[in-house]
Amino acid sequence: MECTLIGAPLQIGAGQLGCEMGPSALRIAGLRTALEELGHTVKDIGNLTPRTFDEMPHPNAAVHHLGETVAWVEALSAAAYEHGKAGMPIFLGGDHAISAGTVPGLARRAAERGRPLFVLWLDAHTDFHSLETTASGNLHGTPVAYYTGQAGFDGYFPALAHAVPTENVCMIGIRSVDPAEQAAIRKTGITVHDMRVIDEHGVGVLVRTFIERVRAANGLLHVSFDVDFLEPDIAPAVGTTVPGGATFREAHLIMEMLHDSDLVTSLDIVELNPFLDERGKTAKLLVDLVASLMGKRVMDRPTLAG
């Protein structure tokens, strides 16, 4: 498969600086080599840059960097649409605000192909705030509400050509949700699996059920992977750590099951903050997880000599 690496060094959607170094850290950790060793063709187009922008005021005084975020959304949406026509675009964040651009662009491309887009959201947070409800003003907490066509973005974010139906979104690993997000999500068709559901049923059952839904609809599957989906002990390089995340084994199981499904057509890797990492520990783990998604097996992994 042809994989296209697309850097998106956006960090103004988060509350803590450092995510703009994420694309470089993933490259240095060997992402391209890992994919090539699996037989994939890899093209790295470098990092995107947004257009020149003006700051945009908003009635919610907490909202910050709105103009810059909108410029990034436009650039990412165009790139996702272009590179979603063939192969596997892999977007290297950057904070999770990048998904406000990647998903709409991919949804537009999917609609032209006559197939629905589904999104697997692997994250500790639902990111379902609108510009009106966010108390922090950090716009990495808004992408899902935006790309599913919720109210509160008109006149600011670009108009959506094809919103993703909420029934096509599945969230796994959720363990930090604001009251406003809870109230809004309950009115939608989004499937939300928090960590208790994972503990009770196992992650494999949840992923398999969603994969079957995507296959039944002849859908295309976009995976959006936030570092804080993982347990902070194994992935410390994120500014929004929440205890009780997915384990190493759970994360690899998900990726291997997704590979076996042959449904995944695009990927976001977001919120990697190398400034908070421990000798590249998190970046290397993410590269290994992407490799699992792209076909690497446990039997392929070298072990240290005893």
- Cis bond before residue 239 (omega within 30° of 0): no
252 annotated to a ligand binding site: no
259 is in an annotated binding site: no
Residue in 68, 181, 226, 256 annotated catalytic: 226
**Smallest Cα–Cα separation from 76: which of 113, 51, 55?**
51
Q: Known catalytic residue: 96?
A: yes
What is residue 152's DSSP assignment? S
Q: Is 65 a catalytic residue?
A: no
226 is catalytic: yes
Phi, psi of 223 (to 5 degrees): -110, 125
178 carries a ligand binding annotation: no
Catalytic residue among 64, 65, 83, 125: 125
Nearest to 230 by CA among 220, 242, 221, 219: 242
Catalytic residue among 96, 162, 193, 252: 96
96 carries a ligand binding annotation: yes
125 is catalytic: yes
Write down the catalytic residue from 20, 95, 228, 250: 228
Catalytic residue among 68, 74, 181, 271: 271
Active site residue 140: yes
For the question of residue 123 being annotated catalytic, the response is yes
Q: Is 154 annotated as a binding residue?
A: no
Q: How far is CA 43 from CA 16, 87, 259, 294, in A?
A: 30, 10, 20, 15
How do beta strands 191-194 and 88-93 pair?
unpaired
User: Could you say which of 64, 140, 162, 193 is catalytic?
Assistant: 140
Q: Catalytic one among 123, 181, 231, 256?
A: 123
Check whether 300 is labelled as a binding-site residue: no
| Beta strands at 117-122 and 169-174: parallel, antiparallel or unpaired | parallel
Annotated binding site: 96, 123, 125, 127, 226, 228
Active site positions, annotated: 96, 123, 125, 127, 140, 226, 228, 271
Annotated binding site for Mn(2+): 96, 123, 125, 127, 226, 228
